Amino acid sequence: MSITQLKPWQEAFMKILMNVKRLDAIIICEGRSDLEVYKSVLRKLTSGVERKVSIGFTDAEGLDNIPELATAIATLSKHSRKLKTLVIAIDADEYRAEDRASGLVDSLRARGIVVESFEKYGLYDQVYVVNISSNGRSLKVLILVNGDFTIPAKKHVLEDHCVKLLDIPVERSIDSSKELIGDMRACIKRIEELPRNVVCEYFRHICRALEP
């Protein structure tokens, strides 16, 4: 497996066009720290696994940019027979997972993307599979909604999973777990230290979607 770091979205249009032709999947994250966590989990999943898959990661620099970037990639996918899957990772924030995923799908529709189907991916309710088409090219989109809804927070984010992984106590209601996680380095280090099955207990939605 190879991992490619794509440029931030404002600089990325031509870069993505070049990369689309050689990538099997592209993963879009809201921010750089989220991207690094996803890469760490993916490395853990594929450690020791012979997998000839090329995956590109890109940082959308914020939730508002994701629909536009996803639409650009879907449009460019007509130039690649290899690209099969687009993964979009977003925080639940103050919404239920299904509502957050549905809102993103509506944003894609508003940009002219034809949504052929939208459903939960198996039994896990924080992963959704969307089949879309653009310019006659079909593409599978996986929407991963970050957040641990057992944490007493107004907004649910990727940091929720790190709070649980690092066993950080949450003794009061908080706005979000970002208050408890200064940066992601401790979380990433712990992911690297723990065995795959333990990591997947805390990042089930990522493992479910990206498992080999």
Tell me the pLDDT of the chain averaged across its residues. Answer: 87
Rounded to whole angstroms, the Cα distance separating 18 from 165 reads: 37
> Residue 13 pLDDT > 70, yes or no?
no
- List of residues 6+ apart from 150 with CB closer than 8 A: none
pTM of the model: 0.90
What are residue 85's DSSP bridge partners? 25, 140
Please give the domain boundaries of the chain with CATH numbers for all domains: 2-210 (3.40.980)
Q: DSSP state, 177?
A: G
- Say if residues 154 and 173 touch (Cβ distance below 8 Å): yes
Rounded to whole angstroms, the Cα distance separating 154 from 94 reads: 6
So what's the pLDDT on residue 41?
A: 97
What's the CA dihedral at 56, 51, 115, 92 to 10 degrees?
A: -70
Residue of higher predicted confidence among 207 and 52: 207
So what's the pLDDT on residue 15?
A: 62
94-141: per-residue pLDDT in tens? Answer: 999 999 999 999 999 998 889 999 999 987 889 999 999 877 788 999
Average pLDDT, integer, range 23-30: 89
Residue of higher predicted confidence among 208 and 52: 208
